[in-house]
Amino acid sequence: MSIDSQNARPFHVDLIRFALFACVAVSGLAAQSTVWQALLPASPLTPQPGVRRSPAMAYDSARDVIVMVGGRINQNGSNVLPQETWEFDGGEWVLAGPVGPAAVVGYNDTTNIAAYYDSQRQLTVAIESTQNGPTRFWEWDGASWTLAQSLTQPPFTWRYDFEVCYDPIRGVGVLFGGTNGGVHYSDTWEYDGTTVVQRIVGAPPARWGHAMAWDSDRSVVVMYGGRGSSQYSDMWDWNGNFWQPTPNAAGPGIRTFHDLVYDEARSRLVLMGNYSGSTSETWEWDAMAGWTLMSATQLARSNMKAVYDSSRRRVVMFGGSNFALMTGPTATFGYGVASATASAASQGAGCPGPNGQTVLQAGGTPSMGAFMPVQLTNVPTGPINLAFVWIGFDSQSWNGIPLPASLDPVFPGCFAHMAPEIGVGIGTTVTGTLSWGVSVPFVPALDGSPFFLQGGVLVLGFNPGGVVFTNGLSCTIGL
């Protein structure tokens, strides 16, 4: 369906806000599909972080933002090592400031910074290991970075491409491995916000280029792959006392410079990426079934970073190494599952206006990660004929009144087809047509959720209430 944008005033509504009103809980849906979806900004003019390799990222669950610092930007073949902190609120990246630790480049575009979120202290912790110098523990509270610890060598030897993961039960960040080019490490360290302690335990072989994630269902830190004296396809659990092989670990094979994230809503690990961007595969692991190769693919890459956004039930991935990755908004991707088919259908009829019925129609469907155009046609064209659209989440009753409900005698011949929650002024028109739209974010938590639209136009003196109403639209969020 074509949309006439002449003299129209398009308006974008982020459905993340709709979740505050939605009453649909989505769980146990059949025929679920996994998908990677670009998380595009609302406007192409919105500032974006440059696509970078090996950034440090963590999801701040208290403030509901992803924090990113460090990384390497390839600028015309030269290394740019930005000293800047970015935050992603689920829809837009915002530069918090030219602050934070700056990276040093290691082999294969790795860097010397890793981060995690300390949920007990509600701080993002970034660990910066400086070449032939101290290893610093920085803490970000959303406003400023504070140097909390600085380890000399010895006891801690500087390194890059180590990995860290937070254990929320014991309240410690766990650091394992890394390399300084000549030596690969197999040591385990823990930081509780006050002290850094080396755990003298038996350990997996020394490595770097590995990935770790917290498995909240089994209460262990999980490590997969990496490289050292050889390249690894092994999988290990750290329970706070010792390392042991993970059960059902066979599957993806050798992986280095990849990432591993735990999907809390679905109780499974998600693995993506590999050395030199050699695969676009996505794998999932759960304790019963082991590894499963998923249908979802993404641009082959390595050295990206991914975290789990528990508010929106999705994995969020940024950047990485691949010649196709240029500076721009497509550097941010979301991953999750969806089972519903997006739909939009007309509901009931409108009432007569000065030019007949004003009609509300959809120019697409509310697919996650996309924009659903909506059009009002046969709109009165006077300078005071302001058009509105209402959004709601119930088409069965409104304040105890069954729907659809007659609006006689104040609005003769008109019906309410939904219970309104949000009203948006669209504007006036001289052509009889107005365009609007709904920006549907990629939020798997909204999969299968319904919402409803109905329009209206101010027509003073035409009927006792001075408003005529359109038909309704019944919509379901999906793919």
The whole-chain average pLDDT of the chain stands at 88
Task: Please tell me the predicted confidence (pLDDT) of residue 30.
Answer: 36
pLDDT of residue 354: 93
Q: Which residues pair with 13 in a beta bridge?
A: none
Summarize pLDDT for 21-67 with one digit per residue, the tens.
343 333 333 345 788 888 877 777 888 898 888 999 999 999 999 99
**What pLDDT shows up at residue 13?**
42
Mean pLDDT, residues 449-464: 96
Tens-digit pLDDT profile for residues 330-385 = 578 999 888 789 999 999 999 999 999 999 999 999 988 788 999 999 999 999 99
State pLDDT tens for residues 386-441: 999 999 999 999 999 999 999 999 999 999 999 999 999 999 999 999 999 888 88
| Residue 3 pLDDT | 26
pLDDT at 150 over 80: yes
More confident of the two residues 244 and 302: 244
135: helix, coil or strand?
A: strand
Residue 192: its pLDDT value, please?
Answer: 97
Residue 30's Cβ-count burial label (10 Å; 0-12, 13-18, 19+) is: exposed
Query: Quick one: pLDDT band at residue 322, thresholds 50, 70, 90?
Result: confident
Identify the CA nearest to 289 among candidates 315, 304, 317, 269.
Answer: 269
CA distance 57 to 67: 5
HSE-up of residue 185 (Cα within 13 Å, Cβ side): 19
Segment 82-91, tens digit of pLDDT:
899 999 999 8
> How far, in Å, CA of 300 to CA of 282, rounded?
10
% of the chain exceeding 70 in pLDDT: 91
The pLDDT of residue 76: 74
Band (pLDDT 50/70/90 cuts) for residue 8 is very low
Q: What percent of the chain has pLDDT over 90?
A: 68
Kindly tell me the number of DSSP H helices and DSSP E strands found in the chain: 0, 40
Nearest CA-CA partner of 284 in 270, 265, 298: 270
Lowest mean pLDDT among 280-284, 303-307, 367-371: 367-371
Distance between CA atoms of residues 280 and 322, nearest Å: 11
Top-confidence residue, 181 or 373: 373
- What pLDDT, on a 0 to 100 scale, did the predictor assign at position 32? 57
Poorest-confidence range of 159-163, 227-231, 329-333?
329-333
- Is the confidence at residue 6, as pLDDT, over 70? no
- Residue 358 to residue 456: CA distance in whole angstroms: 8
pLDDT in the model for residue 102: 83
Q: What is the pLDDT of residue 79?
A: 80
* pLDDT score of 446: 87
Does the pLDDT value for residue 205 go beyond 80? Answer: yes
Beta-carbon contacts of residue 461 (< 8 Å; ≥ 6 apart): none
Give yes or no for a contact between 375 and 435, defined as CB atoms under 8 angstroms apart. yes
CA angle, corner 48, sides to 44 and 52, nearest 5? Answer: 135
Give residue 27's pLDDT: 32
305 contact partners, CB below 8 Å, separation of at least 6: 54, 55, 56, 57, 68, 71, 259, 317, 318, 319, 320
| pLDDT value for 7 | 34
- Burial, 117: exposed, middle or buried (Cβ in 10 Å; 0-12, 13-18, 19+)? buried
Rounded to two decimals, what is the model's pTM?
A: 0.81
**For residue 349, what are its two tokens?**
């009829």
The pLDDT of residue 78 is 76
- Is the pLDDT score of 5 beyond 80? no
Q: Which pLDDT does position 107 carry in this prediction? A: 67
Range with the lowest mean pLDDT among 68-77, 234-243, 250-259, 355-364? 68-77
